[in-house]
Chains A and B, each alone.
Chain A
Amino acid sequence: MAAPSVAGLGRRLRAWVPRLMQVRWSRYNPSYLEPEVNKELYQKPLEELTEEEKEQMDLKAVRPIKAAPPTLSSSVFSDPMISKFTNMMMRDGNKVLARSLMTQTLEAIKRKQLEKYHKAPENEKETIECNPHVIFHQALKNCQPIIGLSNITKGGKTYQVPVPLKDNRKRFLAMKWLITECRENKHRRTLMPEKLSQELLLAFKNEGPVIKRKHALHKMAEANRAYAHFRWQ
């Protein structure tokens, strides 16, 4: 297919054009490194750094660094996990709507937890978690499957083979399940924030349809244990 358009802007922006046209390519030269936004890492004195960190620092001093994307910021309120989730919820590029839904969800979680907190007796007050970020992360963690199934064709037949999943894939599946669950299995009138907050609170307690789906996947993997050796053909 046609090469990426670098005719006018290319030379000015000094963007990188790959020699052979690739399917997944980026405007950055492969030597560019990812930016590190966390302030604390920069304030550490030199003695506390380990060998690896020192090597990393040396490497960073010599290599160019990519620009920080608009979703990333050094403020305490920006969470990469929440940004990822917001992007997955987004439809047709409407980031404003997705972000407002996310903030409304977190607000709803906080309200529900506060209600429970004020109604609970004194001794149970400490066990109730009110921080919506903590609930969000714990719920996602509980939803992540450990093992997944992959289609492997052998001898003309396709088998569902249990396969260990990578971290990125686990997180993606957890988020995807949550979102599809909230979009499909709800009453027509309930809004997304309400349904999502419900699901997140259930997942936090290891209950709810998303956790059930995870367990179903684990059971399938256990059932297909006999084909596990197909992974190494």
Chain B
Amino acid sequence: MGGRSCAVMAAAAGRVFRLCRRWGAGPRAQMLRLIYTTTAVQRKNVGASGPEKYTEAFIKKQIEEFNLGKRHLANMMGEDPETFTQEDIDRAIAYLFPSGLFDEQARPMMKHPREIFPEQRKIQWGEDGRPFHFLFYTGKQSYYSLMHETYEKLLNVEKYQDQLIAQDLPLQKEKRNLAGSRWLTKIELEEMLLEKLSDDDYSRFIQLLQKLTDLPCSDIEEKYIQKFSKELPVQMQKVVIEPLQYDEQGVAFSTGEGRRKTARATAVVYDNGTGKMTVNGKDILHYFPVLQDREQLLFPFQFLGRIGKHDAVCTVSGGGRSAQAGAIRLACAKALRSFVTEKEVEFMRQAGLLTVDPRVKERKKPGQEGARRKFTWKKR
């Protein structure tokens, strides 16, 4: 029972290694083990690159094996096979096959075959060799048929517009909120069409879509356009603001962490204060003799108009003078989020106070003196 389930699991895990023919030059040459690498991981669109590698029947069999293996795994872990989700599978595999490999894609995994074997296009021609699609010989049949379809919609909209003009009716234009959505990326479009696209093709398609949306009466083709656009989430929704904490005297306070280059800082901002700020036990006037650094520390408070109202106790380590100031600024801004309304948090974000500065020292490259500076050019 145990041996069989292991074998099933191993098969359903879909990770076996390819033995190339040329390695086994001697007596081993007769052994050929068929293997499948996880192409989902490599994100290559196998779509139309060759004849069908995985038949329908094969994939069906893989799915059956996967489901069976899932139930066996659930049994082994002592959980209910009916409510065994993918996350449970991942946890179980990580427990049973612990791997120290750094690359997460190289570790043993057990996923649904649809995620492992990429979607393949079925054979495009019948038994007599005649292709099904009329644009087959263009080489990019899905792409061109998509372009044809979109252009047809465009002509439709223009015809509708002409009708409205002929009847002297006003052309409506309810503004579509363009800021809230984006077009599909090239990779997503490739996955949709199961065909490789070039950058030029992609940009031509997006231009055509843009032209369609810019027409006044494009609302009639709204459903078609929505197939190719995705909602952009509002940035603010991603962040969770912690509630205020209260210490023994009943004074509200809040903590924040910040970093800049190699400096790491934590700040505790207290309410009902007089505007005193302490860094590593010293007053900011002593710790930061340079005016620019003190300006940076007070920036979040000045922006919100709360200069004399809060006390701050900060600790910082690492980095240089300016990096420490930047780290404390970020820490204070994050701590102030709990004291302030959501609108003001959004204003802080738009002022650049809540973003971690990703700029770090650029590495020195070989063959150059520094990151950018090259060695003195000598003619001889």
Contact present for B358 and A28 (CB under 8 Å): yes
Contact present for B350 and A62 (CB under 8 Å): no
Q: Does B14 belong to the interface (CB within 8 Å)? A: no
Distance, CA A37 to CA B300, complexed state (A): 11
Interface string of A198-211 (1 = CB under 8 A from B): 00000000000000
Chain B nearest Cβ from A120, distance in angstroms: 33
When the two chains form the complex, which single residue of B179, B298, B350 contacts A65, counting CB atoms closer than 8 Å? B350
Distance, CA A59 to CA B299, complexed state (A): 25
Q: Does B303 belong to the interface (CB within 8 Å)? A: yes
Q: Does B83 belong to the interface (CB within 8 Å)? A: no
Contact present for A35 and B362 (CB under 8 Å): no
When the two chains form the complex, which single residue of A1, A14, A63 contacts B358, counting CB atoms closer than 8 Å? A14
Contact present for B352 and A74 (CB under 8 Å): no
Contact present for B179 and A15 (CB under 8 Å): no
Q: Which residues of B contact A68 (CB under 8 A)?
A: 299, 351-353
Q: Which residues of A contact B358 (CB under 8 A)?
A: 13-15, 27-28, 67
When the two chains form the complex, which single residue of A55, A59, A65, A78 contacts B352, counting CB atoms closer than 8 Å? A65
Q: Which residues of A contact B325 (CB under 8 A)?
A: 70
Q: Does A232 belong to the interface (CB within 8 Å)? A: no
Q: Does A95 belong to the interface (CB within 8 Å)? A: yes
Q: Does B379 belong to the interface (CB within 8 Å)? A: no
Chain B nearest Cβ from A52, distance in angstroms: 12
Task: Tally B residues with Cβ within 8 Å of A.
Answer: 41
Distance, CA A27 to CA B365, complexed state (A): 17
A60 with B368, Cβ < 8 A, contacts A4-B363, A70-B292, A75-B302 known: no
Interface string of B221-249 (1 = CB under 8 A from A): 00000000000111110000000000000
Chain A nearest Cβ from B236, distance in angstroms: 7
Q: Does B256 belong to the interface (CB within 8 Å)? A: no
Distance, CA A63 to CA B290, complexed state (A): 34
Across the two chains, which residue of chain B brings its CB closest to A29?
B358
When the two chains form the complex, which single residue of B292, B326, B357 contacts A95, counting CB atoms closer than 8 Å? B292
Interface string of A65-89 (1 = CB under 8 A from B): 1111011111101100000000000
Distance, CA A99 to CA B294, complexed state (A): 14
Interface positions of B from 293 to 315, Cβ below 8 Å from A? 295-296, 298-299, 302-303, 305
Contact present for A9 and B292 (CB under 8 Å): no
Contact present for B179 and A5 (CB under 8 Å): no
When the two chains form the complex, which single residue of A1, A27, A61, A73 contacts B179, counting CB atoms closer than 8 Å? A61
Q: Which residues of B contact A64 (CB under 8 A)?
A: 235, 355
Contact present for B295 and A61 (CB under 8 Å): no
Contact present for B360 and A27 (CB under 8 Å): yes
Chain A nearest Cβ from B316, distance in angstroms: 15
Interface positions of B from 341 to 370, Cβ below 8 Å from A? 346-347, 349-353, 355-360, 362-363, 365-368
Q: Does A58 belong to the interface (CB within 8 Å)? A: yes
When the two chains form the complex, which single residue of B292, B356, B367 contacts A67, counting CB atoms closer than 8 Å? B356
Q: Does B291 belong to the interface (CB within 8 Å)? A: yes
Contact present for A35 and B350 (CB under 8 Å): yes
Q: What total count of A-B pairs have CB within 8 Å?
A: 101
A74 with B299, Cβ < 8 A, contacts A1-B368, A35-B352 known: yes
Q: Which residues of B contact A72 (CB under 8 A)?
A: 352
Contact present for A13 and B360 (CB under 8 Å): yes
Across the two chains, which residue of chain A brings its CB closest to B298?
A75
Across the two chains, which residue of chain B brings its CB closest to A2?
B365
When the two chains form the complex, which single residue of B236, B322, B351, B362 contacts A74, counting CB atoms closer than 8 Å? B351
Chain A nearest Cβ from B222, distance in angstroms: 19
Contact present for A60 and B355 (CB under 8 Å): no
Q: Does B78 belong to the interface (CB within 8 Å)? A: no
Q: Which residues of B contact A96 (CB under 8 A)?
A: 290
Distance, CA A1 to CA B368, complexed state (A): 10
Chain A nearest Cβ from B235, distance in angstroms: 6
Q: Does B180 belong to the interface (CB within 8 Å)? A: yes
Contact present for B346 and A61 (CB under 8 Å): yes
Q: Does B172 belong to the interface (CB within 8 Å)? A: no
Across the two chains, which residue of chain B brings its CB closest to A15?
B358
Contact present for B292 and A71 (CB under 8 Å): yes
Q: Does A222 belong to the interface (CB within 8 Å)? A: no
Across the two chains, which residue of chain A brings its CB closest to B181?
A62
Q: Does A129 belong to the interface (CB within 8 Å)? A: no
Contact present for B357 and A67 (CB under 8 Å): yes
Interface string of A125-158 (1 = CB under 8 A from B): 0000000000000000000000000000000000
Q: Which residues of A contact B352 (CB under 8 A)?
A: 35, 37, 65-68, 72
Contact present for A36 and B350 (CB under 8 Å): yes
Q: Does B177 belong to the interface (CB within 8 Å)? A: yes
Could you pull out 30 A-B pairs where Cβ atoms are within 8 angstroms?
A: A1-B365, A1-B368, A2-B363, A2-B366, A4-B362, A5-B362, A5-B363, A9-B360, A13-B360, A27-B358, A27-B360, A28-B358, A35-B352, A60-B350, A61-B346, A62-B179, A62-B233, A62-B234, A63-B232, A65-B350, A67-B358, A70-B322, A71-B292, A74-B299, A74-B302, A74-B351, A75-B295, A75-B299, A95-B292, A99-B291
Residues of A at under 8 Å CB distance from B?
A: 1-2, 4-5, 9, 13-15, 26-28, 35-37, 39, 42, 55, 58-68, 70-75, 77-78, 95-96, 99
Beyond A67-B352, A68-B353, A70-B322, 4 extra complex contacts between A and B, CB < 8 Å: A27-B358, A27-B360, A63-B179, A99-B292
